[in-house]
């Protein structure tokens, strides 16, 4: 069956049609965007650390992950053992305990963060055992309607919304953490 034939059959079964709304959907708005973002981040399995303007981010990361042996990041000011911009191949990032990246903005509605590729090897976002995303508190938005308007692609042409650690319950309905990416996600909210 050709695509057009299938679509025509589906159209025959349509009994009621609805016009598009005259006004675009605006999405939910929260009284306290940061509070909602933190709550949703925790709901999806992530952790949130609220940093003060004069806090040392390296000290916060060290305190949060005292047993980490290999850190990877290209974020300016972050001390790391590996840099995803200078490795010869993404496979060199295998074994990273903590990957630290910067997110452009966070979404209170679902606790997700837009992480554009700002490094040569984006595998750092997925291969690290623990992922830390730095997000500026002033760049939290209410909902995905606002978020999509803010998405910008850079020269790499790649970005991803990340919400909580990787998880699946496909196999025997048992929740497995870290199935496709990081076992844990920590968001550090920073004030500039």
**pLDDT tens for each residue of 91-142:** 999 999 999 999 999 999 999 999 999 999 999 999 999 999 999 999 999 9
* pLDDT the model gives residue 28: 94
- The answer, yes or no, to whether residue 4 has pLDDT greater than 90, is no
**pLDDT tens for each residue of 12-59:** 888 887 887 787 778 899 999 999 999 999 998 899 999 999 999 999
Q: How far is residue 66's CA from residue 54's CA, in Å, rounded to a whole number?
A: 21
Read off the pTM: 0.84
Structural domain boundaries in the chain: 30-190
- Cβ atoms 119, 74 nearer than 8 A: yes
* pLDDT the model gives residue 20: 76
**pLDDT tens for each residue of 95-107:** 999 999 999 999 9
Q: How far is residue 84's CA from residue 75's CA, in Å, rounded to a whole number?
A: 10
CATH code, 30-190: 3.40.50.10420
120, two tokens:
């040569």
């Amino acid at each position: 069956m050709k695509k057009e034939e299938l679509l025509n059959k589906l159209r025959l079964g349509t009994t009621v049609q609805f016009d598009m709304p005259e006004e675009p959907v605006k999405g939910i708005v929260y009284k306290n965007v940061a509070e909602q973002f933190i709550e949703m981040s925790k709901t999806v399995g992530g952790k949130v650390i609220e940093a003060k303007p004069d806090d040392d981010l390296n000290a916060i990361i060290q305190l949060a992950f005292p047993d980490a042996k290999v850190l990877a990041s290209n974020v300016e000011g972050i001390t790391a053992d590996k840099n995803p911009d200078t490795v010869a191949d993404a496979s060199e990032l295998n074994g990273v305990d903590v990957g630290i990246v910067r997110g452009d903005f966070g979404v209170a509605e679902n606790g997700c963060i837009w992480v554009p590729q700002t490094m040569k090897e984006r595998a750092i976002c997925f291969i690290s055992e623990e992922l830390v995303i730095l997000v500026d508190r002033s760049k939290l938005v209410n909902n995905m309607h606002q978020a999509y308007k803010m998405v910008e692609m850079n020269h790499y042409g790649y970005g991803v919304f990340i919400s909580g650690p990787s998880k699946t319950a496909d196999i025997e309905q048992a929740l497995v953490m870290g199935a496709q990416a990081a076992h844990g996600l920590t968001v550090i909210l920073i004030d500039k």
